[in-house]
Amino acid sequence: MPHVVLKFGGTSIAGPEQWRVVGDVVAQRLGEGLRPVVVHSALPGVTDLLSSLLDGGDTERDEGLATLSRRVWALASELDVREEVEADVGRELEQLRAALDGLPRGAPGRRDLGPEAWRRQAGSWRPASGW
Protein backbone atom coordinates (compact mmCIF):
# COMPACT_ATOMS: atom_id res chain seq x y z
CA MET A 1 0.00 0.00 0.00
CA PRO A 2 1.63 3.31 -1.06
CA HIS A 3 1.99 6.15 1.42
CA VAL A 4 0.68 9.68 1.04
CA VAL A 5 1.71 12.60 3.27
CA LEU A 6 -1.12 14.87 4.37
CA LYS A 7 -0.09 18.11 6.08
CA PHE A 8 -2.47 20.31 8.01
CA GLY A 9 -1.89 23.42 10.09
CA GLY A 10 -3.20 26.75 11.25
CA THR A 11 -6.86 27.29 10.53
CA SER A 12 -7.22 23.81 9.00
CA ILE A 13 -6.88 22.34 12.53
CA ALA A 14 -8.34 25.20 14.56
CA GLY A 15 -11.36 23.40 15.98
CA PRO A 16 -13.44 20.24 16.10
CA GLU A 17 -15.11 20.78 12.73
CA GLN A 18 -11.73 21.17 11.03
CA TRP A 19 -10.46 17.97 12.72
CA ARG A 20 -13.56 16.16 11.40
CA VAL A 21 -12.54 17.30 7.92
CA VAL A 22 -9.02 15.96 8.56
CA GLY A 23 -10.59 12.65 9.60
CA ASP A 24 -12.72 12.61 6.44
CA VAL A 25 -9.67 13.27 4.25
CA VAL A 26 -7.74 10.46 5.97
CA ALA A 27 -10.71 8.08 5.54
CA GLN A 28 -10.99 9.05 1.87
CA ARG A 29 -7.29 8.34 1.28
CA LEU A 30 -7.58 5.00 3.06
CA GLY A 31 -10.55 4.20 0.83
CA GLU A 32 -8.36 4.94 -2.18
CA GLY A 33 -5.92 2.27 -1.03
CA LEU A 34 -3.35 4.75 0.25
CA ARG A 35 -1.59 4.78 3.61
CA PRO A 36 -1.80 8.32 5.00
CA VAL A 37 0.96 9.86 7.08
CA VAL A 38 -0.62 12.84 8.85
CA VAL A 39 1.57 15.81 9.76
CA HIS A 40 0.21 18.86 11.51
CA SER A 41 1.77 22.10 12.57
CA ALA A 42 0.66 24.52 15.26
CA LEU A 43 -2.82 25.81 15.84
CA PRO A 44 -3.40 29.39 14.67
CA GLY A 45 -1.33 31.84 16.71
CA VAL A 46 0.59 29.21 18.68
CA THR A 47 3.90 29.72 16.88
CA ASP A 48 3.81 33.44 17.70
CA LEU A 49 2.77 32.65 21.27
CA LEU A 50 5.70 30.26 21.71
CA SER A 51 8.08 32.85 20.28
CA SER A 52 6.78 35.44 22.73
CA LEU A 53 7.44 33.02 25.61
CA LEU A 54 11.13 33.13 24.75
CA ASP A 55 11.34 36.90 25.11
CA GLY A 56 9.00 37.55 28.02
CA GLY A 57 9.74 38.04 31.68
CA ASP A 58 8.30 35.78 34.36
CA THR A 59 4.86 37.39 34.28
CA GLU A 60 4.63 37.26 30.47
CA ARG A 61 5.79 33.65 30.43
CA ASP A 62 3.25 32.66 33.08
CA GLU A 63 0.46 34.42 31.17
CA GLY A 64 1.57 32.93 27.85
CA LEU A 65 1.77 29.41 29.27
CA ALA A 66 -1.67 29.86 30.84
CA THR A 67 -3.04 30.96 27.46
CA LEU A 68 -1.42 28.00 25.71
CA SER A 69 -2.77 25.61 28.34
CA ARG A 70 -6.31 27.00 28.01
CA ARG A 71 -6.21 26.62 24.23
CA VAL A 72 -4.88 23.06 24.38
CA TRP A 73 -7.38 21.95 27.02
CA ALA A 74 -10.29 23.68 25.27
CA LEU A 75 -9.55 21.90 22.00
CA ALA A 76 -9.03 18.56 23.76
CA SER A 77 -12.40 19.01 25.48
CA GLU A 78 -14.13 20.02 22.25
CA LEU A 79 -12.69 16.92 20.54
CA ASP A 80 -13.76 14.82 23.53
CA VAL A 81 -10.22 13.46 24.05
CA ARG A 82 -9.22 15.33 27.21
CA GLU A 83 -9.23 12.24 29.45
CA GLU A 84 -7.19 10.27 26.91
CA VAL A 85 -4.47 12.92 26.57
CA GLU A 86 -4.50 14.56 30.01
CA ALA A 87 -1.42 12.85 31.47
CA ASP A 88 0.76 13.23 28.36
CA VAL A 89 -0.24 16.81 27.56
CA GLY A 90 0.03 17.88 31.20
CA ARG A 91 3.53 16.42 31.38
CA GLU A 92 4.56 18.14 28.14
CA LEU A 93 3.27 21.51 29.32
CA GLU A 94 5.23 21.14 32.57
CA GLN A 95 8.36 20.15 30.64
CA LEU A 96 7.93 23.20 28.41
CA ARG A 97 7.65 25.41 31.51
CA ALA A 98 10.84 23.87 32.96
CA ALA A 99 12.70 24.31 29.67
CA LEU A 100 11.66 27.96 29.44
CA ASP A 101 12.74 28.55 33.03
CA GLY A 102 16.21 27.33 32.05
CA LEU A 103 16.59 29.72 29.12
CA PRO A 104 17.95 33.25 29.41
CA ARG A 105 15.59 36.05 28.38
CA GLY A 106 16.23 37.90 25.16
CA ALA A 107 19.16 35.79 23.91
CA PRO A 108 19.64 36.69 20.24
CA GLY A 109 18.87 34.09 17.60
CA ARG A 110 16.90 31.71 19.78
CA ARG A 111 13.96 31.70 17.41
CA ASP A 112 16.18 30.29 14.69
CA LEU A 113 17.39 27.24 16.60
CA GLY A 114 17.04 23.91 14.85
CA PRO A 115 16.15 20.71 16.72
CA GLU A 116 19.74 19.87 17.71
CA ALA A 117 20.51 23.35 19.04
CA TRP A 118 17.12 23.48 20.75
CA ARG A 119 17.85 20.16 22.50
CA ARG A 120 21.11 21.57 23.82
CA GLN A 121 19.38 24.77 24.97
CA ALA A 122 16.19 23.25 26.34
CA GLY A 123 17.69 20.17 27.97
CA SER A 124 15.21 17.47 28.77
CA TRP A 125 12.04 18.85 27.22
CA ARG A 126 10.96 16.85 24.23
CA PRO A 127 7.46 16.01 23.01
CA ALA A 128 6.25 12.57 24.12
CA SER A 129 6.28 11.51 20.48
CA GLY A 130 9.98 12.43 20.15
CA TRP A 131 11.56 14.63 17.49
Q: Tens digit of pLDDT for each residue in 77-112? A: 999 999 999 999 999 999 998 888 887 766 544 455
H helix runs in the chain, sequence order: 16-31, 46-55, 58-78, 82-101, 115-122
Q: What angle do CA 52, 40, 36 make, to 5 degrees?
A: 170
Distance separating alpha carbons of residues 117 and 53, to the nearest angstrom: 18
Q: Tens digit of pLDDT for each residue in 7-56? A: 998 888 989 999 999 999 999 999 999 999 999 888 888 988 988 888 88
In this prediction, residue 19 carries a pLDDT of 92
Higher pLDDT, 129 or 45: 45
Domain boundaries, the chain: 1-44, 45-131
pTM of the model: 0.68
